[in-house]
Amino acid sequence: MSNHIPTEVYLSFIDKTIEIHWDYHAWLMTAVWFGLVPFALMAVRYFKPKPTLYGIPKGTSKLSPKLIWWTIHFTCLYLALGLSLAGMLAAIVSNGGISGSTHSWWGLATITLAILQLVSAWFRGSHGGKHGANSNPNEPSTWRGDHYDMTPQRRWFEAYHKTAGYFTMVLAMGAVASGLAQYWMPIIAIYIVTVIVGTLLLAVWLERKGFRQDMYHSVYGNHPQHPFNKRRKLSKKCSSM
């Protein structure tokens, strides 16, 4: 979109001029970044199961309460990226190219970081653990994995993925705010404020009630002999000396 927002566009491939409904674009992007994405973040933060000694059993359904947090997280984020790309392409076609407006640059930056989030997930490394897909529960030597052992690769992935995820949300706020500055829709502004305040209050309540669980403990268990648990215990012991 630009300062002069077009209201119709000629599409040569169908030889037809169509009316542009920018409110559809606005609602799509708002629903994605202030609906799907916050839900995905809340799920991975607060829906994880309470730790057991050896974590989530092998063969647990992805729709089970023990894994639904992960299913929601990746499903919502893949869907969010797909819808964002569709919304971006529709806007570019309708506008006859990238407008160069503040909104377009905020939007492009947001979607670029979202794509990098997806790419970074491909480098999270192997899983491992007692209940890993290729593990023998009776043979600890088969439990090795980047996540179970918290290798440097896994730790760099988590450092980037978590940090960049929050930066992406900041960019999304800038994109929506600059979009509203060009194409004011009071109902969307009210919706966004409601989501932000509601999410804050819900997160505070979930934190207070103890719903946030350590991911390593949830997935692999809190047994003191698990590699990362041993390292953290040693680290705490050394820091207290």
Domains of the chain: 8-239 (1.20.120)
Find, among 179, 178, 219, the residue nearest to 56 by Cα: 219
The dihedral built from the CA positions of residue 21, 94, 2 and 111, taken in this order, carries a sign that is positive
pLDDT of residue 3: 52
- Within the chain, which residues score under 70 in pLDDT? 1-4, 8, 10, 12, 15, 236-241
Pull the structure tokens for residue 51.
């730790």
Q: Would you say the C-alpha torsion 57, 58, 63, 68 has a positive or negative sign?
A: positive
Sequence length of the chain is 241
Residue 150 · residue 129 · CB < 8 Å: no
Question: What angle do helix axes 152-182 and 186-208 make, rounded to 10 degrees?
Answer: 150
Q: For residue 16, what pLDDT is reported?
A: 74
129: alpha, beta or left, given left = phi > 0 and alpha = psi -120 to 50? left
CB of 53 closer than 8 Å to CB of 223: yes
Handedness of CA 174, 178, 179, 180 (dihedral sign): positive
Kindly report, residue by residue over 100-127, the tens digit of the pLDDT.
Answer: 889 999 999 999 999 999 999 999 999 9
pTM for the whole structure: 0.88
C-beta of residue 233 within 8 angstroms of C-beta of residue 152: no
pLDDT at 1: 41
One-letter amino acid at 20 equals I
Unique residue bearing structure tokens 């940090």: 163
161-188 per-position pLDDT tens digit: 999 999 999 999 999 999 999 889 999 9
